[in-house]
Amino acid sequence: MVKIKVKSNQTSLKFIDLFCGVGGFHQALSSLGHKCVLASDIDKACQEVYKDNYNIEPVSNIKDIDEKNMVEFDILTGGFPCQPFSNGGNKKSFSDDRGLLFDEIMRLAREKKPKFMFLENVKHILKVSDGEVIEYIKNRIKDTGYSLQIFPMSPHNYGIPQQRERIFFVCVRNDIYNGNDITLIDNNLNLTPNDIIEDVVDKKYNINNETKNVLNAWDELIKQFEEGEKMSPTILIHDAFRTYTDIEFNQLPNWKQDYMTKNKPLIEKYQHIINPWYEKHKDLLSKREIYGKLEWQTGPLTKNDSIYNHFIQLRQSGIRVKKGHYFPTLVAISQIPIYGPKKRLLTPRECARLQSFPDSFKLHESDKVVYKQMGNAVNVHNTHTVISSTLKHYNL
């Protein structure tokens, strides 16, 4: 499991933790010897967990912070709301009120001028609204008096078995900026899923009967396919048995037309297997739209392959199956990863480990709340790498 070394700094800096969640930035900075002097988050459950772990009660609304009379600080951190920009949200960008919360960060920064700002968001923020959002952010940071360097990062690139593509914004006040790019410290943990997974867990984390039956149905099918068979893109099994006129087909979304066209050779090749299989499981697979979509992301079928050899996640796009090297992205909505070999959900503690929180971290009593909090959290190890690399670059 993840262990972050605590460093005793000669220079102890003060930081504020905005949109703090359960304190991923706090974990990283405190381990480097720095002190939190203010936190803020509107979520009551996050406030409770933050206070329980750090003995600091977050301000409930960033808009209530008076920049003229607030505490002095050296570092500002913020994993500002990602829902307006993410694939999991509605991608409304700044037309969503949460998108404007970035301006609250700039309001405080313009007045207090901290030495550094460390911000985090989803990778999609680079492309949303045809690039208008990222240009807006860059311009606001520049106009506030900071030089910006952007780091795309994911835990799986640093030896943590979770793929979680994120963007870190490192903002250095112009009078401190030395004109040289920061180089990230090579800090690979070389963890495997075995370092995350607990051997014995409560039976309540076993997948429910309906989910198990759906996965068993798909497993029954793929075991009849040839070794080396490729099953991409997403198999839309219901559409293979629907009849569309040319007009109806052309009215479908382009992505769906593309998938159906690419599915056709596989459906035809295994028609003698798929037809009776579908008739047998049609009612089950029709209970939810996602049950009829298999998103196989493990490459060609191997000998004795099984859906349970891999990591599984029930997503809006369907049943996603990924290679068992690293877990899919933890998200705040109900898409808890399934650990195929044990046919169960990840536990809250395992999710915390994937986000690099130590086992000493006190979790909320509700599993549902923990899943949401860890889905929203910044990865502590990635955050530690970015911040420690920056402070080392500036001899702090």
**For residue 378, what is the DSSP state?**
P
387 and 261 share a domain? Answer: no
211 and 184 share a domain? Answer: no
> Per residue in 314-352, pLDDT tens?
988 899 999 888 888 898 877 899 999 999 999 999 999
Cα distance between residue 253 and residue 234, in whole Å: 15
Q: Which residues of the chain have pLDDT under 70?
A: 1-10, 82-99
The reported pLDDT for the residue numbered 333 is 75
CB count in 10 Å sphere of residue 67: 12
Q: 């990283």: which residue's tokens? A: 28
47 and 21 share a domain? Answer: yes
Domain assignment present for 218: yes
126 and 231 share a domain? Answer: no
> Per residue in 35-92, pLDDT tens?
999 999 999 999 999 999 999 999 999 999 999 999 999 999 999 875 544 444 444 4
The reported pLDDT for the residue numbered 19 is 97
Question: What are the phi and psi torsion angles at 182 (to 5°)?
Answer: -80, 135
CB count in 10 Å sphere of residue 334: 10
Q: Which two tokens stand for residue 372?
A: 């949401």
Q: 């309001």: which residue's tokens? A: 107
Q: How many domains does the chain have?
A: 2
- Give the total residue count for the chain: 396
Cα distance between residue 260 and residue 39, in whole Å: 49
CATH of the domain at 177: 3.40.50.150
109 and 181 share a domain? Answer: yes
Cα distance between residue 27 and residue 9, in whole Å: 15
Q: 């959900």: which residue's tokens? A: 345
Domain assignment present for 22: yes
Provide the residue range defining the domain that includes 318.
203-346
Domain assignment present for 196: no
Cα distance between residue 61 and residue 78, in whole Å: 13
Domain assignment present for 144: yes
Domain assignment present for 252: yes
Rg over alpha carbons for the chain, rounded to the nearest Å, is 23
148 and 231 share a domain? Answer: no
Of the candidates 317, 313, 316, which has an alpha carbon nearest to the alpha carbon of residue 326?
A: 313
In what order do the strands lie in the sheet containing 14-18? 35-40, 14-18, 75-78, 116-122, 166-173, 146-153
> Per residue in 372-389, pLDDT tens?
999 999 999 999 999 999
The reported pLDDT for the residue numbered 232 is 83
37 and 184 share a domain? Answer: yes
The reported pLDDT for the residue numbered 1 is 53
Domain assignment present for 355: no
20, 82, 171, 351: the active-site residue:
82
44 and 181 share a domain? Answer: yes
179 and 41 share a domain? Answer: yes
In which element (H, E) is residue 294 found?
strand 293-297
Domain assignment present for 365: no
223 and 146 share a domain? Answer: no
Domain assignment present for 186: yes
125 and 55 share a domain? Answer: yes
CA atoms within 13 A on the CB side of 42: 10
**For residue 142, what is the DSSP state?**
H
Q: Is 171 labeled as catalytic in the residue annotation?
A: no
47 and 175 share a domain? Answer: yes
Cis peptide before 233 (omega within 30 of 0): yes
Q: How far is residue 28 from each of residues 48, 52, 261, 311, 387, measured CA to CA in Å?
A: 19, 17, 48, 28, 8
Q: How far is residue 105 from each of residues 50, 145, 300, measured CA to CA in Å?
A: 20, 13, 47
